[in-house]
Structure 1
Amino acid sequence: MSEPLEKYLQGLWFSALLGLLLSCLAASWLLQAQAHYGYGLWYEVYDIRAHIDRFGPQNRHIQGLETLEKPGHVRLFNAISQAVHEQGDGLADIRFDWRGRSQPLLHNAEVVHLQDVANLIDALRTASWVIAWLTLALLWWLLRQGCRPLWRAQAVWLGGLVLVTLALVFAIGPKAVFYQLHVWIFPEGNQWFFYYQDSLMSTLMKAPYLFGGIGAAIVAGGLFLFGLALWLLRRVSGQQPHSA
């Protein structure tokens, strides 16, 4: 095989493995979404009870969140999680009881923001399926051609890309990156930043700290699935991953 052709095919392998990694991360996200991201666990890890006790009474719009126990808080978060994964259906209907009357958890600006989140989730879910199918098609084609990856080189390229990405995130600051992504992604004019005193949603989630834990869990799960996928790919391709 000529050197230019070999480089071209290894470039395709890099694209396929990158697509596989992204697909595994997406699978981890979608699986954890089914369990509402384990909010009950993070509730304890981040001491969200104390956070709600502090900021719930300070809310300028809706009172009473601090009067609920943990099961009530988990129910409200799970209702938000379910709604944003179902095109935002039911967001305005999420309610809890306070002093004998039912009241909404979210005010209008929060509903608008969570609808934006629901729209983003729909787009990401569609993109994830497209990437997954394209990746499978490319892997099938490469294996049909009898082309095998140079595992060491692929590990260096893919690992280098991941390390550079992580280095940039931590150099800029995870919170700064998180906020800048909001600026780029969400429609201009729609509020996405909420002080705890103005948002029971943010208080309930102890935003953005909860998202750090959820993000780490998604990455850990994705890497685990990626390892399994590489093991299966190695078996199918008939090569050990340490082969040159």
Structure 2
Amino acid sequence: MNRLRPTQGGVKMLPQTWVQILIILVTIIPGFVYQITRRTLRGPSPDELEVPIRILRAVSTSVAFAGLYILACRQSLLDLFRSNETTKGDPRYIAAIGLLLVIIFPWLAAHATFYFTTATWWLRFRAKIGAAVRKRFGLRRAYTPDPTAWDFAFRRTGPTWVRVLTEDGRWMGGWFDESSFASSYPHPRELYLEKSFEMKEDGAFTGRVAAESGIYIRCEDIVTIEFPTGNEPSEPGKSRPEE
């Protein structure tokens, strides 16, 4: 089998220099790095279950990153790619630039986006401004991508008390914080509370720890779930939320 080779005056199909390889990587890879990092931090969303959608989003994000690079440092990039020293120089120099543009910047952008958009102050500010704008112009509430009320609640809640009522009339609950976990769609509704507290028959917390290492609750068949207000549990007898 004959291999295709670029001919005199023809179109070169394969990259010939390290710079050309870098250009190809910058226009393809950053979006995948951003999407993978964002998915690791935020978790999978329902509209990303299909592989073609994830690929399309990653490619679109790569194009956006390439556009931002050009807008932010167009002349610097042109000087870099046209320089003979860059083209013929140490590949390690090109590799360092590639790591910045292809891996590090998208990774940092994903982390910054996640922490900014999930910060409590930002969520409260957005809700307040959104309500004011909707009221002023008579707009309807913007669509939320959360597929269920369960996802909507736990994506926006911070450290809080949680209690659930089971079908057999038992109350179970405890403290939900950084070491706790709530499943998301399309997985079954499951809840892990990092610290469980004993509860009365009417659903009131007693303040006595029932499970210091946490409790797992399968929530597919629960009657209700509540988020009482109250301070973080610290001392016995002073840990109960406000009833």
TM class, shorter-chain normalised? under 0.3
- In proportion to residue count, which structure has more helix? 1
- TM-score normalised according to structure 1 size: 0.25
**Greater CA radius of gyration, 1 or 2?**
2
More relative contact order in 1 or in 2 (CA 8 Å, sep 6+)?
Answer: 1
Normalized per residue, the structure richer in strand is 2
